[in-house]
Amino acid sequence: MASMLTSTHLLLAAGFALVQLVVILRALLVDGRDPMSRAAWVLALLLVPVLGVVAYLLVGEPRLTRRLRHRALAAADRLVVPARAACAPAVAPREAIPDRFRAAFRLCEALSGLPAVTGNAATLAPDSNAAIDAMVAAIDGAEQSVHISFYIWLTDTNGLKVVEALRRAARRGVTCRVMADGLGSRALVRSEHWAAMHAAGVRLQSALPIARGAIAFLGNRVDLRNHRKIVVVDNRLTFCGSQNCADPEFRVKPRFAPWVDVMLSFEGPVVLENQLLFASDWMAETGEDLTGLFATPLPAPASGQGFPAIAFGTGPDSPKGAMSDVFIALLGAAEREVVISTPYFVPDTPLLAAVVACARRGVDTRLILPARNDSWAVGAISRACYPQLLEAGVRIFEFHGGLLHAKTLVPDRTVALVGSANMDRRSIDLNFENNILLCSEAVARQVRDRQDDYLRNATEILPESLGKRSIPRRLWENTLTMFSPVL
Mutual orientation of helices 2-29 and 49-59 as an angle, nearest 10°?
40
More confident residue, 326 or 304: 326
On average, the pLDDT of the chain sits at 90
Instruction: Answer whether 51's CB lies under 8 Å from 62's CB.
Output: no
pLDDT in tens, 251-301: 888 899 999 999 999 999 999 999 999 999 999 999 999 999 999 888 778
Known catalytic residues are 227, 229, 234, 405, 407, 412
Secondary element (H or E) of residue 117 = strand 117-124
Query: Could you read off the pLDDT of 9-32 as tens digits, one per residue?
Result: 677 777 767 877 887 788 787 777
Please indicate whether residue 316 or residue 155 has the higher confidence score (pLDDT): 155
Task: List domains and CATH numbers for the chain.
Answer: 21-27+35-61 (no CATH), 66-101+115-309 (3.30.870.10), 322-486 (3.30.870.10)
- 87-91, 287-291, 316-320, 401-405: which range is least confident on average? 316-320
**How many whole angstroms separate alpha carbon 428 and alpha carbon 457?**
28
Q: Is the pLDDT of residue 191 over 90?
A: yes
The confidence score (pLDDT) of residue 201 equals 98
Residue 17's SS3 state is helix
Percent of the chain surpassing pLDDT 90: 68
Give the pLDDT band of residue 485 (cuts 50, 70, 90): low
Question: For the chain, what percent of residues have pLDDT higher than 70?
Answer: 91
pTM attached to this predicted model = 0.91
pLDDT at residue 217 in the model: 54
Per-residue pLDDT at 268: 96
Dist CA 27 CA 432 (whole Å): 23
